Every structure is written in C-alpha cells, then in structure tokens.
Amino acid sequence: MYDLHVHTNASDGVLSPVEVIRLALKSGLDGLAITDHDTLQGVAPAQDFIRSHQIQLDFIPGIEINTDYGEDEVHILGYFVTDQDSRMTERLAYIQRERITRAENILARLSLFGIDIDMDQVRTLAGGRLIGRPHIARALIAAGHAQSEADAFARYIGRNQPAYVPRYKFSPQEAIHLIDQAGGISVLAHPGLIHDKAKIDAIIEMGIAGLEVYYPEHDVSEVKELKELARRHNLLTTGGSDFHGTGPDSRTRLGYAGVDRQTMETIRDFYQHK
C-alpha cells in the first residue's frame, strides 16, 4: 500500500518528516509521498533519513499546492517534483514572503482592537516553517486573548472575522503549469470536496494528469464516479490519507487511503515516459 497524501510539520502536520517515515515503517506501508502545503521543505529530511538508514520504503517527493478558483479553494498535488526547478522554488519562496506580509497585516488589524502581538513571537512559534494563522492563534492564547485555537479563529482571525486577511494563492492553471515544468505529475486533490462539479471538468481541461480517487472522505459512489471520470479522460488515479498527525483530533491515520502496487507502477510508468 502506498499512501500518496501525507503532511509533516513542514506545513500543518504534527510529526516531523523523520517521524512520519518511522510511522510509515511501523504501519507496514510499501511507500509514501510527502505532500506538504506549498512547500518542499519536508522532502529532503525524509529522503536523507531513508538514505542514511537504508530504509526499504518507496519514497515519492511531492507537494500540495493550495489554489484559489473563484469562491472555491482547490488543491493540486504534484508528484516527483524536486527543489531543483528554479521557477518552482522562486514561486514557492514568493508564497512564503507573502505569508509573512499577511501575518504582519493580521497583527496590524489586531492592534486596532488593542491586541498587541509581536511578530517575532509569531516567527518563533512557526519555528522557521511557513507562517500561518495557527501560529497567530497560539500567540493570542499565550497573551490571554483566546481560550483555544478554535476560539481565536472564531473571534479574530477566521474568515469574516475582524482580523481576517486572505492570503495569496496561485491559480490552478499556474500550479499545474509549475508542476509540469518541474517535470512532475499534477493531480487534483480530493475532488469530492469540490462542490461545483463543473470546476472538476474545467481543471481536467487545464491539463491535469490525474485525479485523487481514493480519499478518506470519498464514499463508495464518489470513488466509482471518479474512477469512471479518470477512465473517460485517460487520467491517472491516485489516493492518500491526508494524514496530518496522530492524536485525539486527527481525522485520519497514515495509510487509511492509498493505492496498491499496480496503480503505483502505472503512475511511475507515466512519470518515466513523460
């Protein structure tokens, strides 16, 4: 079994890349892809660990790019993408800088309500990784302005709340194009979560290479429909758990969804003959 959708603490996951690899071994997976939001930073530590310990695990470097498509947020997975591609690296660095500016804007809004949070504290909480609202939420809790992260989002930084600032995202077209140019395979993540089905067809038209068919929140009939859609358009089928970490509020476990060896071979074959 190959779990092709896994997050680490390089984005919003809980476990480090090394911890994820250890858990993959314990779970008996044949392989996995690390697919952090808008960053490749979790890939090299995982690869180094696998190499230095000669771990028998088929590792696929990946990414999950969050894009804006009208009112919807659409996620595009990229497989076999490396940080060797300069355009990809440049655009991801831009996203990272935009996140910093956005965090500063959120703090400026909070100060209008008499809440002063220091940007250095937010940076420290992010620990050198992508700065996100969860870090601001934790700073709000530490300063006694919120009871929990959910409370911080509900009262201040969540969508439609007074200190909300949207963040810069790529378009689906650019994400697909960037992955293509970097020699990778683009896959539409969890299509079942897209309410406007016409958008799925439009993304297929944009030249996506595959659909994430197997996903914890896809029910049997959705899986069937997506398989049929992939077959009609000659697209790859992939799958993964969208694992973000262990613990009481984790929505899924590592290896909860994925693809078998044969499907993985088809994906790899497509990549090698690109």
Binding site for Fe ion (CB under 5 A): 12, 75, 189
Question: Among 93, 108, 142, 150, which residue sits at the site for ligand AMP (rule: CB under 6 A)?
Answer: 150
The residue among 197, 199, 246, 194 whose CA lies nearest residue 218 is 194
113 contact partners, CB below 8 Å, separation of at least 6: 156, 162, 163
100: contact with ligand AMP by CB under 6 A: no
| Least distance between Zn ion and beta carbon 53 (Å) | 26
User: What track of x and - describes contact with Zn ion for positions 60 through 89 (by CB under 5 A)?
Assistant: ----x-------------------------
As a whole number of Å, the end-to-end CA separation of the chain is: 24
Question: Among 242, 254, 257, 259, which residue sits at the site for Zn ion (rule: CB under 5 A)?
Answer: 242
3: contact with Zn ion by CB under 5 A: no
132: contact with ligand AMP by CB under 6 A: yes
d(CA 4, CA 35): 8
* CB of 64 or CB of 85, closer to Zn ion: 64
Tokens representing 79? 């497989």
Tokens representing 99? 């996140």
CB 263 within 8 A of CB 223: no
Question: Among 12, 83, 104, 180, which residue sits at the site for ligand AMP (rule: CB under 6 A)?
Answer: 12
* CB of 153 or CB of 170, closer to ligand AMP: 153
Q: Which helix (H) or strand (E) holds 95?
A: helix 86-112
| Least distance between Zn ion and beta carbon 189 (Å) | 6
**152: amino acid identity, one letter:** A
Judged by the rule CB under 5 A, the positions of this chain that interact with Zn ion are 64, 242
